[in-house]
Amino acid sequence: MKFRLVGQAVAWFLFTAALLFVAAGTDRWAAGWSYLILTGLCGLGSGLWLARFDPELLHQRLASPLQPGQTAFDKVILAIFLLLYHAWLAFMALDAVRFAWSHVPYRLRAAGAILMLIGNGVVFLACRANTFAAPVVKIQFERGQQVVEAGPYAVVRHPIYAGNLILMTGAPLLLGSWGGLAATIALFAPLLALRAILEERALSQGLEGYLRYAMRVRYRLIPGIW
């Protein structure tokens, strides 16, 4: 499992580096390297923790984004999300470096790195609390899936989505792209919100106790707001 984790991490690093630096037109981009190193280390560190303490969840999270038992709507949403995500990375490289349309102050770039760390931390805490936190929407009958209310799930019903939104707010700031930040607000936030709503419908119908949990934990993504 660890070999597969490291292999996927290396493949991700090389592919994302090529995407960023080809779009930027140079590899002399400190923010691009910072994004790669920060994201890669956080992902690898979380994966190694799961390999030791929750290998079944790691197996789920390393699996294909299209899986048996996955809901039809989720296959469509994930396909759209992945296409947009890679286009978003390339656009930010164009915006921040090749054409230099955006000029983000260094203090905000540092804040972006902090937000990325916070977002990754929220995702890790959610995975630590919920062994059923697969990356796709499906009821894991074979694993005896249960409702989880511990950790960040006591605050919001979709902490992984919340962490990803924090992360995807910090990334364009770190990379220096106002256009990337606008895309997070205009595209990714609504897409994750739609996925949360549709996921809750599936869980309410197929997972015992989810409706009671949703009544106790009122907010989906942002405490006190929604």
Beta strands in the chain (DSSP E): none
Q: How far apart are CA 74 and CA 158, in angstroms?
A: 15
Mean pLDDT, residues 146-163:
96
In this prediction, residue 65 has a pLDDT band, given cuts at 50, 70 and 90, of confident
Residue 3 confidence (pLDDT): 83
Tens digit of each residue's pLDDT (9 = 90 or more) over 165-197: 999 999 999 999 999 999 999 999 999 999 999
Give the tokens for residue 190.
């609504």
* Domains contained in the chain, number: 1
Residue 14 lies in a domain: yes
- How far, in whole angstroms, is CA 126 from its chain's centroid? 12
Residue 186 confidence (pLDDT): 97
Residue 225 lies in a domain: no
Residue 69 confidence (pLDDT): 82
Residue 184 confidence (pLDDT): 98
Residue 209 lies in a domain: yes
Give the tokens for residue 54.
């929750």
Tens digit of each residue's pLDDT (9 = 90 or more) over 195-208: 999 999 999 999 99
Residue 222 lies in a domain: no
Q: How far apart are CA 147 and CA 155, in angstroms?
A: 14
User: What CATH number does the domain containing 38 carry?
Assistant: 1.20.120.1630
Residue 84 lies in a domain: yes
Give the tokens for residue 22.
């080809």
Q: How far apart are CA 98 and CA 151, in angstroms?
A: 42
Residue 185 lies in a domain: yes
Residue 221 lies in a domain: no
Range of the domain at 171: 2-216
Residue 224 lies in a domain: no
